[in-house]
Structure 1
Amino acid sequence: MPGWAIAYVRRIEALNYRVGRLAMYLLFVIMGILLWSSVTKILKVPSLWTLEMAQFTLVAYYLLGAPYSMQMGANVRMDLLYARMPVRRQAVCDMFTVFCLIFYLGVMLWGAVDSTAYSLSIGERAPSAWRPPLWPIKLVISLAFFLLLLQAVAHLIRDVAIIRGVDIPLPFKGGVGR
């Protein structure tokens, strides 16, 4: 494998590992927001912002954690036949599905970037009493799709390396290194 390909995989996986580990803490942010919502309702002064903020935080938690989940092998796969295949045949099957994923993520990224640009240009706001601007969460969605696309390409390079019999060491403990 060319040195640039190995460097790409290691850098993207290290970046997505860090982003995913940081995204894990958003769960505590969600819990804090929902706790605050409960307290304000008990005190008979409910907040207008808590439901939407919890939803926005959940979107960030879910989407920013997706590249991390992919590299850790936590994604769902039909193991009926796959688990019985040799490692190289698994890599060939993964290459096919990763090409489909890359196409899908490209379309999703294009739509997310377009939606973010539109939201910024018109000053789009949520149709609620709180009326927060929507561009920040749309920007997070675009970033998450971009990181997931980079991780899918890294996964493809790792599969090609497996087929060639080259081992790309993982930049962290755990993961899907076969």
Structure 2
Amino acid sequence: MRLLRQIENINIMIGKAISFLIWIGIVVLCWEVIARYVFGAPTIWAHGYTQRIFGAYFVLVGAYTLIRGNHVRVDLLLNTRSPRFTAFLDLINCIFLIIWGSVLIWEGFWFFEDAWRFNELDDSVLRHPMWPIKLSLFLGAVLITVQGVIEAIRALVLLVNPDADIRLAAGAQRSEIL
């Protein structure tokens, strides 16, 4: 369990670091609005950069969102049942997450590799390379899939022993991971 907590702590650190990308995206968007409507001089770069910033943000913050328990869930089934049944449903969800994540890792790697090898450029005037955003897709898939494995192990333990003390992130509760 110690290794799982260490991996989870790494996912938390990455998630907190990546969360600052939202502020960079907001600054770029505000700059574009001011340049366009105050100075009458829209930029040619802001739209592409905000797409990349927000795209990377949403892909890379997925594991942190999973740790915090903030992904969409149907609580009608989860809050009205026993802890063992909840663990069973969590395990099924994690299995689907791991399958989806594994396919996304596989495809995301080749997506990135092709962009790198062929020096793929975007369609904008600035012709930026596409490999950084495609690398973020691959890395985000790795992070959320690894976290899905941790959640599946946690669900298995709780399925066997609903009273087990499975602590998150070195003992923190989900609500404390902010």
**C-alpha offsets along residues 118-148 of structure 1, whole Å, 9 cap, x if unaligned?**
0001000001112110001111111010000
Q: Which of 91, 94, 115 is the equivalent residue of 1:95?
A: 91
**Deviation of 1:170 (Å):** 1.9
Give secondary structure in 2 for the equivalent of 1:133.
coil
Q: Does 1:12 align with 2:13?
A: no
Question: What is the CA distance between 1:19 and its match in structure 2?
Answer: 1.1
* Contact preservation (8 Å) 1:109, 1:145: yes
User: 1:86 Cα deviation (Å)?
Assistant: 1.0
Instruction: Please give the TM-score of this superposition, normalised by the length of structure 2.
Output: 0.90
Distance in 1, matches of 2:173 and 2:124, equals 43
Number of equivalences:
172
**TM-score (normalised: structure 1):** 0.90
Gaps of 5+ in 1: 1-5
Aligned residue in 1 for 2:50 = 54
RMSD over aligned CA atoms reads: 1.7
Identical-residue share of aligned pairs (%)? 27
> Is 2:120 the partner of 1:121?
no
1:134 alignment partner, one of 113, 130, 135: 130
CA distance in 1, matches of 2:137, 2:56: 7
Residue by residue, what CA displacement relative to the aligned partner does 1:76-131 show, whole Å, maximum 9, x if unpaired? Answer: 11122221111111111111121111111111111110000000010000011121
Shift of 1:158: 0.7
Query: What is the aligned partner in structure 1 of residue 16 from structure 2?
Result: 21
Q: Which residue of structure 2 aligns with residue 45 of structure 1?
A: 41
* Cα deviation, residue 8, structure 1: 2.9
Rounded Cα–Cα distance in structure 1 between residues aligned with 2:58 and 2:16 = 12
For structure 2, the residue ranges without an aligned partner over 5 or more in a row are none
User: Shift of residue 39 of structure 1?
Assistant: 2.6
Deviation at 1:57? 0.5
The more displaced of 41-50 and 168-177 is 168-177
1:164 Cα offset (Å)? 2.9
Structure 1 SS opposite 2:18: helix
Helix, strand or coil: the match of 1:45?
Answer: coil
